[in-house]
Amino acid sequence: MQHERRNISMLMDLYEMTMAHGYFTKQDNTDRVAFDVFYRRNPDQGGFAIFGGLEQVVEYILNLHFDDEDIGYFKSLNLFSDEFLEYLRNFKFTGDVYAFKEGTIIYPNEPIMTIVAPLIDAQIVETAVLTMINHQSLIATKANRIVRAADGRIVSDFGARRAHNVDAAVYGARAAYIGGVHGTATVLAGQQFGIPVNGTMAHSWVMYHDTEYEAFKAYAEVYPDNPVFLVDTYDVLNSGIPNAIKVAKEVLEPQGYRLKGIRLDSGDLAYLAKHARHMLDEAGMEDCKIMASNSLDEYTITSLLYQGGPIDIFGVGERLITSKTDPVFGAVYKIAGIQKHGEWEPRIKISESVTKITNPGLKKVYRVYSEEGKAIAELLTLPHEVPSTNSPYRYIDPEKPWKELYFENCTFKDMQELVIKDGEQVVASPSLEAIRSYVQYQLENEIWEEEQRFENPHRHYLDMSPEYYHMKMDLLNRIGRKK
Protein backbone atom coordinates (compact mmCIF):
# COMPACT_ATOMS: atom_id res chain seq x y z
CA MET A 1 0.00 0.00 0.00
CA GLN A 2 1.41 3.37 -0.97
CA HIS A 3 1.85 5.87 1.86
CA GLU A 4 -0.24 9.00 1.64
CA ARG A 5 2.59 11.05 3.14
CA ARG A 6 6.06 11.30 1.70
CA ASN A 7 9.00 12.89 3.49
CA ILE A 8 11.70 13.79 0.97
CA SER A 9 14.21 13.77 3.84
CA MET A 10 14.09 9.98 3.53
CA LEU A 11 15.42 10.13 -0.04
CA MET A 12 18.85 8.71 0.68
CA ASP A 13 21.00 5.66 0.10
CA LEU A 14 21.16 3.50 3.20
CA TYR A 15 24.92 3.96 3.47
CA GLU A 16 24.41 7.61 4.27
CA MET A 17 22.53 6.66 7.41
CA THR A 18 24.85 3.78 8.36
CA MET A 19 27.85 6.14 8.06
CA ALA A 20 25.99 8.82 10.03
CA HIS A 21 25.32 6.28 12.78
CA GLY A 22 28.99 5.31 12.74
CA TYR A 23 30.10 8.93 13.05
CA PHE A 24 27.61 9.48 15.87
CA THR A 25 28.77 6.35 17.72
CA LYS A 26 32.43 7.30 17.38
CA GLN A 27 31.61 10.90 18.35
CA ASP A 28 32.96 12.26 15.08
CA ASN A 29 29.75 14.03 14.17
CA THR A 30 30.82 17.53 15.23
CA ASP A 31 33.71 17.83 12.74
CA ARG A 32 32.97 20.22 9.89
CA VAL A 33 33.61 18.97 6.39
CA ALA A 34 33.31 20.29 2.85
CA PHE A 35 31.70 18.34 0.01
CA ASP A 36 31.82 19.51 -3.61
CA VAL A 37 29.19 18.79 -6.25
CA PHE A 38 30.61 18.62 -9.77
CA TYR A 39 30.21 16.64 -12.98
CA ARG A 40 32.81 15.16 -15.31
CA ARG A 41 31.54 15.56 -18.89
CA ASN A 42 28.93 17.52 -20.83
CA PRO A 43 25.87 15.63 -22.11
CA ASP A 44 25.80 14.80 -25.84
CA GLN A 45 29.48 15.84 -26.11
CA GLY A 46 28.31 19.45 -25.93
CA GLY A 47 30.34 22.49 -25.00
CA PHE A 48 28.59 23.21 -21.68
CA ALA A 49 25.68 22.34 -19.41
CA ILE A 50 23.06 24.38 -17.52
CA PHE A 51 22.79 24.29 -13.74
CA GLY A 52 19.28 23.38 -12.63
CA GLY A 53 17.54 22.25 -9.45
CA LEU A 54 19.05 24.63 -6.89
CA GLU A 55 15.69 25.94 -5.68
CA GLN A 56 14.53 22.40 -4.92
CA VAL A 57 17.80 21.60 -3.13
CA VAL A 58 17.36 24.66 -0.91
CA GLU A 59 13.74 23.73 -0.12
CA TYR A 60 14.80 20.17 0.72
CA ILE A 61 17.63 21.25 3.04
CA LEU A 62 15.50 23.83 4.85
CA ASN A 63 12.82 21.22 5.53
CA LEU A 64 15.13 18.33 6.39
CA HIS A 65 13.63 16.42 9.33
CA PHE A 66 12.59 12.97 10.52
CA ASP A 67 9.18 12.39 12.09
CA ASP A 68 7.80 9.53 14.14
CA GLU A 69 7.02 7.33 11.14
CA ASP A 70 10.55 7.80 9.78
CA ILE A 71 12.11 7.00 13.16
CA GLY A 72 9.90 3.93 13.41
CA TYR A 73 11.08 2.72 10.02
CA PHE A 74 14.74 3.20 10.93
CA LYS A 75 14.14 1.32 14.19
CA SER A 76 12.61 -1.59 12.26
CA LEU A 77 15.89 -2.06 10.35
CA ASN A 78 17.69 -3.05 13.58
CA LEU A 79 20.78 -1.12 12.52
CA PHE A 80 20.75 1.94 14.75
CA SER A 81 21.03 2.66 18.46
CA ASP A 82 18.20 4.29 20.40
CA GLU A 83 20.48 7.24 21.15
CA PHE A 84 21.06 7.84 17.44
CA LEU A 85 17.36 7.56 16.65
CA GLU A 86 16.63 10.15 19.32
CA TYR A 87 19.30 12.38 17.74
CA LEU A 88 17.51 12.06 14.39
CA ARG A 89 14.19 12.99 15.97
CA ASN A 90 15.58 16.45 16.75
CA PHE A 91 17.74 16.77 13.65
CA LYS A 92 18.04 20.04 11.73
CA PHE A 93 20.61 20.95 9.07
CA THR A 94 22.97 23.55 10.54
CA GLY A 95 25.58 23.92 7.81
CA ASP A 96 26.36 26.31 4.95
CA VAL A 97 25.66 25.90 1.24
CA TYR A 98 27.59 27.73 -1.45
CA ALA A 99 26.38 27.45 -5.03
CA PHE A 100 26.41 28.89 -8.51
CA LYS A 101 23.26 30.80 -9.42
CA GLU A 102 20.62 28.51 -10.86
CA GLY A 103 20.67 28.78 -14.64
CA THR A 104 24.43 29.34 -14.78
CA ILE A 105 26.27 27.88 -17.75
CA ILE A 106 28.57 25.27 -16.18
CA TYR A 107 31.55 23.16 -17.17
CA PRO A 108 33.06 19.82 -16.08
CA ASN A 109 35.04 19.40 -12.85
CA GLU A 110 34.21 22.77 -11.29
CA PRO A 111 32.38 22.82 -7.93
CA ILE A 112 28.91 24.06 -8.81
CA MET A 113 27.90 23.57 -5.17
CA THR A 114 29.88 23.20 -1.95
CA ILE A 115 28.32 22.11 1.33
CA VAL A 116 30.27 23.03 4.46
CA ALA A 117 28.63 21.50 7.51
CA PRO A 118 28.95 19.14 10.47
CA LEU A 119 29.87 15.71 9.20
CA ILE A 120 26.47 14.04 9.58
CA ASP A 121 24.62 17.04 8.10
CA ALA A 122 26.81 16.98 5.02
CA GLN A 123 26.71 13.20 4.60
CA ILE A 124 22.99 12.49 4.68
CA VAL A 125 22.00 15.02 2.00
CA GLU A 126 24.13 13.43 -0.74
CA THR A 127 21.52 11.41 -2.63
CA ALA A 128 18.74 14.00 -2.61
CA VAL A 129 21.08 16.81 -3.67
CA LEU A 130 22.44 14.75 -6.57
CA THR A 131 18.99 13.54 -7.62
CA MET A 132 17.68 17.09 -7.95
CA ILE A 133 20.75 18.58 -9.61
CA ASN A 134 21.41 15.67 -11.95
CA HIS A 135 17.87 15.54 -13.27
CA GLN A 136 17.15 19.21 -13.77
CA SER A 137 20.62 20.06 -15.09
CA LEU A 138 20.31 17.25 -17.62
CA ILE A 139 16.86 18.29 -18.88
CA ALA A 140 17.66 22.01 -18.92
CA THR A 141 20.77 21.28 -20.99
CA LYS A 142 18.90 19.03 -23.42
CA ALA A 143 16.03 21.50 -23.76
CA ASN A 144 18.43 24.30 -24.59
CA ARG A 145 20.05 22.23 -27.33
CA ILE A 146 16.60 21.63 -28.83
CA VAL A 147 15.66 25.30 -28.56
CA ARG A 148 18.89 26.36 -30.26
CA ALA A 149 18.26 23.84 -33.04
CA ALA A 150 14.81 25.36 -33.59
CA ASP A 151 16.54 28.66 -34.41
CA GLY A 152 13.93 31.06 -33.03
CA ARG A 153 10.86 28.89 -33.64
CA ILE A 154 8.57 28.00 -30.76
CA VAL A 155 9.35 24.82 -28.80
CA SER A 156 6.92 23.29 -26.32
CA ASP A 157 7.43 20.44 -23.84
CA PHE A 158 5.11 17.52 -24.69
CA GLY A 159 6.98 14.97 -22.57
CA ALA A 160 4.89 14.10 -19.50
CA ARG A 161 3.48 10.80 -20.72
CA ARG A 162 6.96 9.55 -21.61
CA ALA A 163 8.65 10.77 -18.42
CA HIS A 164 9.97 8.19 -16.00
CA ASN A 165 7.50 9.18 -13.27
CA VAL A 166 5.34 12.04 -12.02
CA ASP A 167 8.20 14.03 -10.52
CA ALA A 168 10.27 13.57 -13.66
CA ALA A 169 7.42 15.03 -15.71
CA VAL A 170 6.77 18.03 -13.46
CA TYR A 171 10.33 18.97 -12.56
CA GLY A 172 11.41 18.06 -16.08
CA ALA A 173 8.97 20.66 -17.37
CA ARG A 174 10.48 23.20 -14.97
CA ALA A 175 13.98 22.39 -16.16
CA ALA A 176 12.93 22.50 -19.81
CA TYR A 177 11.48 25.98 -19.26
CA ILE A 178 14.78 27.08 -17.73
CA GLY A 179 16.47 25.68 -20.82
CA GLY A 180 14.33 27.89 -23.06
CA VAL A 181 11.18 26.06 -24.14
CA HIS A 182 8.21 28.39 -24.50
CA GLY A 183 5.67 26.33 -22.58
CA THR A 184 4.53 22.88 -21.50
CA ALA A 185 1.57 20.60 -22.02
CA THR A 186 1.88 19.43 -18.39
CA VAL A 187 -0.88 21.12 -16.41
CA LEU A 188 0.57 20.31 -12.98
CA ALA A 189 3.84 22.01 -13.94
CA GLY A 190 1.89 25.02 -15.15
CA GLN A 191 -0.02 25.21 -11.89
CA GLN A 192 3.01 24.61 -9.66
CA PHE A 193 5.56 26.82 -11.42
CA GLY A 194 3.56 29.27 -13.51
CA ILE A 195 4.86 27.89 -16.80
CA PRO A 196 2.65 28.76 -19.81
CA VAL A 197 0.57 25.72 -20.77
CA ASN A 198 -0.57 24.77 -24.24
CA GLY A 199 -2.35 21.93 -25.98
CA THR A 200 -4.77 21.14 -28.76
CA MET A 201 -6.52 17.84 -29.37
CA ALA A 202 -5.64 14.16 -29.57
CA HIS A 203 -6.45 11.68 -32.33
CA SER A 204 -9.23 10.35 -30.09
CA TRP A 205 -11.15 13.63 -30.55
CA VAL A 206 -11.11 13.17 -34.30
CA MET A 207 -11.86 9.45 -34.13
CA TYR A 208 -14.78 9.96 -31.73
CA HIS A 209 -16.69 12.07 -34.24
CA ASP A 210 -18.32 10.51 -37.29
CA THR A 211 -16.17 12.53 -39.68
CA GLU A 212 -12.98 14.52 -39.52
CA TYR A 213 -14.86 17.60 -40.70
CA GLU A 214 -17.34 17.28 -37.80
CA ALA A 215 -14.46 16.88 -35.34
CA PHE A 216 -12.76 20.08 -36.52
CA LYS A 217 -16.08 21.94 -36.67
CA ALA A 218 -16.97 20.98 -33.09
CA TYR A 219 -13.57 22.04 -31.81
CA ALA A 220 -13.76 25.36 -33.65
CA GLU A 221 -17.16 26.06 -32.12
CA VAL A 222 -15.84 25.43 -28.60
CA TYR A 223 -12.49 27.20 -29.05
CA PRO A 224 -12.89 29.79 -31.81
CA ASP A 225 -10.16 32.05 -30.36
CA ASN A 226 -7.34 29.51 -30.62
CA PRO A 227 -8.19 26.56 -32.85
CA VAL A 228 -5.38 24.18 -33.83
CA PHE A 229 -6.36 21.01 -35.67
CA LEU A 230 -4.55 17.66 -35.62
CA VAL A 231 -4.62 16.76 -39.31
CA ASP A 232 -2.90 13.36 -39.59
CA THR A 233 -5.52 10.98 -38.15
CA TYR A 234 -6.54 9.67 -41.60
CA ASP A 235 -4.76 11.36 -44.51
CA VAL A 236 -2.93 14.67 -44.09
CA LEU A 237 -3.02 15.99 -47.63
CA ASN A 238 -6.24 14.41 -48.96
CA SER A 239 -8.37 14.76 -45.86
CA GLY A 240 -6.81 16.61 -42.91
CA ILE A 241 -5.72 19.84 -44.59
CA PRO A 242 -8.81 20.12 -46.86
CA ASN A 243 -11.12 19.66 -43.87
CA ALA A 244 -9.14 22.17 -41.81
CA ILE A 245 -9.43 24.74 -44.59
CA LYS A 246 -13.13 24.00 -45.03
CA VAL A 247 -13.88 24.56 -41.33
CA ALA A 248 -11.76 27.72 -41.35
CA LYS A 249 -13.78 29.13 -44.26
CA GLU A 250 -17.25 27.94 -43.21
CA VAL A 251 -17.11 28.26 -39.40
CA LEU A 252 -14.30 30.51 -38.23
CA GLU A 253 -13.92 33.27 -40.79
CA PRO A 254 -17.66 34.18 -40.98
CA GLN A 255 -17.41 34.92 -37.23
CA GLY A 256 -14.23 36.95 -37.60
CA TYR A 257 -11.84 34.25 -36.39
CA ARG A 258 -8.82 32.64 -38.04
CA LEU A 259 -7.48 29.10 -37.91
CA LYS A 260 -4.38 29.45 -35.72
CA GLY A 261 -2.61 26.27 -36.71
CA ILE A 262 -2.48 22.66 -37.78
CA ARG A 263 -0.42 19.89 -36.19
CA LEU A 264 1.46 17.06 -37.87
CA ASP A 265 2.25 14.08 -35.65
CA SER A 266 3.39 11.36 -38.06
CA GLY A 267 4.81 10.67 -41.47
CA ASP A 268 7.49 12.54 -43.40
CA LEU A 269 7.23 15.81 -41.54
CA ALA A 270 9.33 17.88 -43.97
CA TYR A 271 7.43 16.65 -47.01
CA LEU A 272 4.01 17.03 -45.40
CA ALA A 273 4.81 20.47 -43.99
CA LYS A 274 5.86 21.78 -47.42
CA HIS A 275 2.67 20.58 -49.08
CA ALA A 276 0.51 21.72 -46.18
CA ARG A 277 2.08 25.18 -46.36
CA HIS A 278 1.33 25.40 -50.08
CA MET A 279 -2.29 24.35 -49.57
CA LEU A 280 -2.84 26.78 -46.70
CA ASP A 281 -1.26 29.67 -48.60
CA GLU A 282 -3.36 28.92 -51.66
CA ALA A 283 -6.42 29.23 -49.43
CA GLY A 284 -5.30 32.64 -48.19
CA MET A 285 -4.26 31.26 -44.80
CA GLU A 286 -0.64 32.42 -44.75
CA ASP A 287 -1.00 33.20 -41.04
CA CYS A 288 -1.91 29.62 -40.12
CA LYS A 289 1.01 28.05 -38.26
CA ILE A 290 2.33 24.55 -38.79
CA MET A 291 3.21 22.56 -35.66
CA ALA A 292 5.14 19.30 -35.75
CA SER A 293 5.55 16.64 -33.09
CA ASN A 294 6.60 12.95 -32.99
CA SER A 295 9.99 11.87 -31.56
CA LEU A 296 11.78 15.16 -32.15
CA ASP A 297 15.12 16.33 -30.76
CA GLU A 298 17.85 18.74 -31.80
CA TYR A 299 19.09 16.40 -34.51
CA THR A 300 15.72 15.74 -36.17
CA ILE A 301 14.77 19.42 -35.90
CA THR A 302 18.05 20.44 -37.52
CA SER A 303 17.39 17.95 -40.32
CA LEU A 304 13.82 19.15 -40.85
CA LEU A 305 14.90 22.77 -41.14
CA TYR A 306 17.82 21.84 -43.41
CA GLN A 307 15.29 20.18 -45.72
CA GLY A 308 13.30 23.42 -45.83
CA GLY A 309 10.42 22.17 -43.72
CA PRO A 310 8.24 25.27 -43.08
CA ILE A 311 7.52 24.37 -39.47
CA ASP A 312 6.73 27.15 -37.01
CA ILE A 313 6.26 25.24 -33.75
CA PHE A 314 7.83 22.06 -32.39
CA GLY A 315 6.19 19.90 -29.73
CA VAL A 316 9.00 17.83 -28.24
CA GLY A 317 8.27 14.92 -25.93
CA GLU A 318 10.13 11.76 -25.07
CA ARG A 319 13.56 12.74 -26.34
CA LEU A 320 13.48 15.94 -24.27
CA ILE A 321 11.95 14.72 -21.02
CA THR A 322 14.25 11.66 -20.89
CA SER A 323 17.24 13.25 -22.67
CA LYS A 324 17.15 10.08 -24.74
CA THR A 325 20.45 10.54 -26.59
CA ASP A 326 22.41 10.93 -23.33
CA PRO A 327 20.23 10.21 -20.30
CA VAL A 328 22.77 10.49 -17.46
CA PHE A 329 24.18 13.79 -16.22
CA GLY A 330 26.69 12.26 -13.82
CA ALA A 331 27.17 14.89 -11.10
CA VAL A 332 28.98 13.48 -8.07
CA TYR A 333 29.37 14.46 -4.41
CA LYS A 334 32.91 14.19 -3.07
CA ILE A 335 34.51 15.21 0.19
CA ALA A 336 37.09 17.95 -0.37
CA GLY A 337 38.23 18.93 3.12
CA ILE A 338 37.95 18.33 6.87
CA GLN A 339 38.24 20.94 9.60
CA LYS A 340 40.22 19.81 12.64
CA HIS A 341 41.15 22.07 15.55
CA GLY A 342 40.09 25.07 13.51
CA GLU A 343 42.33 24.19 10.54
CA TRP A 344 41.18 22.83 7.21
CA GLU A 345 42.89 19.75 5.80
CA PRO A 346 42.34 18.94 2.10
CA ARG A 347 41.13 15.52 1.00
CA ILE A 348 41.53 13.99 -2.46
CA LYS A 349 40.15 10.91 -4.20
CA ILE A 350 42.73 9.06 -6.29
CA SER A 351 41.87 6.70 -9.10
CA GLU A 352 43.64 4.69 -11.78
CA SER A 353 41.50 6.79 -14.11
CA VAL A 354 43.05 10.27 -14.12
CA THR A 355 39.68 11.87 -14.91
CA LYS A 356 38.35 10.63 -11.56
CA ILE A 357 41.03 12.27 -9.41
CA THR A 358 39.25 15.05 -7.55
CA ASN A 359 40.26 18.66 -6.93
CA PRO A 360 40.91 18.81 -3.18
CA GLY A 361 40.40 21.32 -0.44
CA LEU A 362 38.39 24.46 0.11
CA LYS A 363 38.58 26.53 -3.04
CA LYS A 364 37.10 29.34 -5.05
CA VAL A 365 36.08 29.07 -8.66
CA TYR A 366 36.31 32.16 -10.82
CA ARG A 367 35.00 32.69 -14.33
CA VAL A 368 37.53 34.56 -16.42
CA TYR A 369 36.24 37.16 -18.89
CA SER A 370 38.01 38.78 -21.80
CA GLU A 371 37.96 42.52 -22.47
CA GLU A 372 34.95 41.86 -24.74
CA GLY A 373 33.03 40.25 -21.87
CA LYS A 374 33.33 36.69 -23.17
CA ALA A 375 33.90 33.83 -20.73
CA ILE A 376 37.24 32.31 -21.71
CA ALA A 377 38.06 29.91 -18.85
CA GLU A 378 37.38 28.81 -15.27
CA LEU A 379 40.01 29.27 -12.57
CA LEU A 380 40.37 27.36 -9.30
CA THR A 381 42.20 29.12 -6.45
CA LEU A 382 42.72 28.72 -2.74
CA PRO A 383 40.06 30.52 -0.65
CA HIS A 384 42.25 33.48 0.26
CA GLU A 385 43.38 34.22 -3.30
CA VAL A 386 41.92 37.13 -5.27
CA PRO A 387 43.15 37.19 -8.88
CA SER A 388 44.69 40.51 -9.84
CA THR A 389 43.28 42.51 -12.73
CA ASN A 390 46.03 45.14 -12.63
CA SER A 391 48.73 43.02 -14.25
CA PRO A 392 49.06 39.77 -16.17
CA TYR A 393 47.89 36.93 -13.93
CA ARG A 394 49.86 33.71 -14.11
CA TYR A 395 47.88 30.49 -14.13
CA ILE A 396 48.53 26.81 -14.72
CA ASP A 397 46.84 24.50 -17.19
CA PRO A 398 46.85 21.24 -15.15
CA GLU A 399 47.17 19.22 -18.36
CA LYS A 400 50.23 21.23 -19.46
CA PRO A 401 51.79 22.50 -16.23
CA TRP A 402 55.13 23.26 -17.88
CA LYS A 403 53.70 26.10 -19.97
CA GLU A 404 54.08 29.73 -18.87
CA LEU A 405 50.54 31.10 -19.18
CA TYR A 406 48.96 34.44 -18.25
CA PHE A 407 45.53 36.06 -18.30
CA GLU A 408 45.91 39.63 -19.55
CA ASN A 409 43.30 42.39 -19.50
CA CYS A 410 40.80 39.99 -17.98
CA THR A 411 38.23 40.22 -15.21
CA PHE A 412 37.35 37.50 -12.70
CA LYS A 413 33.93 36.62 -11.29
CA ASP A 414 33.56 34.58 -8.10
CA MET A 415 30.97 32.01 -9.15
CA GLN A 416 29.77 30.60 -5.82
CA GLU A 417 27.55 32.56 -3.46
CA LEU A 418 26.40 31.70 0.05
CA VAL A 419 22.75 30.63 -0.17
CA ILE A 420 22.32 28.87 3.21
CA LYS A 421 24.20 29.87 6.38
CA ASP A 422 23.90 27.93 9.63
CA GLY A 423 20.87 26.15 8.21
CA GLU A 424 19.00 29.33 7.22
CA GLN A 425 18.46 30.68 3.71
CA VAL A 426 20.31 33.98 3.22
CA VAL A 427 19.70 34.58 -0.51
CA ALA A 428 16.17 34.51 -1.90
CA SER A 429 15.52 32.12 -4.77
CA PRO A 430 14.98 34.00 -8.03
CA SER A 431 11.79 33.58 -10.04
CA LEU A 432 11.63 30.93 -12.72
CA GLU A 433 11.41 33.67 -15.35
CA ALA A 434 14.58 35.27 -13.98
CA ILE A 435 16.45 31.96 -14.12
CA ARG A 436 15.29 31.37 -17.68
CA SER A 437 16.30 34.89 -18.73
CA TYR A 438 19.71 34.46 -17.10
CA VAL A 439 20.40 31.41 -19.26
CA GLN A 440 19.53 33.34 -22.40
CA TYR A 441 21.59 36.36 -21.36
CA GLN A 442 24.71 34.25 -20.90
CA LEU A 443 24.31 32.49 -24.23
CA GLU A 444 23.76 35.75 -26.09
CA ASN A 445 26.46 37.81 -24.36
CA GLU A 446 29.06 35.70 -22.56
CA ILE A 447 29.41 32.25 -24.10
CA TRP A 448 31.36 31.86 -27.33
CA GLU A 449 29.33 30.72 -30.33
CA GLU A 450 32.02 28.11 -30.87
CA GLU A 451 31.08 26.52 -27.52
CA GLN A 452 27.46 26.32 -28.66
CA ARG A 453 28.15 24.10 -31.65
CA PHE A 454 26.56 20.64 -31.56
CA GLU A 455 29.54 19.04 -33.30
CA ASN A 456 33.09 19.44 -31.97
CA PRO A 457 32.39 22.47 -29.74
CA HIS A 458 35.24 24.61 -28.50
CA ARG A 459 36.56 23.35 -25.18
CA HIS A 460 36.24 25.63 -22.15
CA TYR A 461 39.32 25.18 -19.95
CA LEU A 462 39.52 24.70 -16.19
CA ASP A 463 42.77 26.28 -15.01
CA MET A 464 44.38 26.65 -11.60
CA SER A 465 46.29 29.29 -9.69
CA PRO A 466 49.90 28.25 -9.10
CA GLU A 467 49.27 28.09 -5.37
CA TYR A 468 46.24 25.82 -5.76
CA TYR A 469 47.98 23.59 -8.30
CA HIS A 470 51.02 23.09 -6.06
CA MET A 471 48.78 22.29 -3.07
CA LYS A 472 47.14 19.55 -5.12
CA MET A 473 50.46 18.16 -6.35
CA ASP A 474 51.95 18.20 -2.85
CA LEU A 475 48.94 16.28 -1.55
CA LEU A 476 49.28 13.68 -4.30
CA ASN A 477 52.99 13.31 -3.61
CA ARG A 478 52.43 12.86 0.13
CA ILE A 479 49.81 10.18 -0.49
CA GLY A 480 52.09 8.50 -3.01
CA ARG A 481 54.90 8.28 -0.46
CA LYS A 482 52.58 6.64 2.08
CA LYS A 483 51.65 3.76 -0.21
Could you tell me whether strands 375-381 and 461-464 are parallel, antiparallel, or unpaired per DSSP bridges?
parallel
Tens digits of per-residue pLDDT, 58-115?
A: 999 999 999 999 999 999 999 999 999 999 999 999 999 999 999 999 999 999 999 9
171 vs 143: CA distance, rounded Å: 13
pLDDT value of residue 115: 98
- What pLDDT is stored for residue 462 in this prediction? 97
Kindly tell me if the per-residue pLDDT of 4 is higher than 80. Answer: no
Asked if residue 410 lies in contact with residue 376, where contact means CB atoms within 8 angstroms, the answer is: yes
pLDDT greater than 60 at residue 481: yes
The reported pLDDT for the residue numbered 479 is 85
Taking alpha carbons only, the member of 96, 75, 95 closest to residue 86 is 75
Superfamily covering domain 8-124+331-482? nicotinate phosphoribosyltransferase (3.20.140.10)
Distance separating the N- and C-terminal Cα atoms of the chain: 52
Distance CA 341, CA 429 (A): 34
- The 10s digit of each residue's pLDDT in 15-36 is 999 999 999 999 877 789 999 9
What is the tens place of the pLDDT at every residue in 287-328?
A: 999 999 999 999 999 999 999 999 999 999 999 999 999 999
Report whether pLDDT(478) > 50.
Answer: yes
User: Does residue 1 carry a pLDDT above 50?
Assistant: no
Domain regions of the chain by residue span: 8-124+331-482, 140-321
Fold (CATH) for 140-321: TIM Barrel (3.20.20)
Torsion sign across C-alpha atoms 124, 128, 129, 134: positive
Closest CA to 320 of 300, 294, 296, 303: 296
Per-residue pLDDT tens over the stretch 419-445: 999 999 999 999 999 999 999 999 999
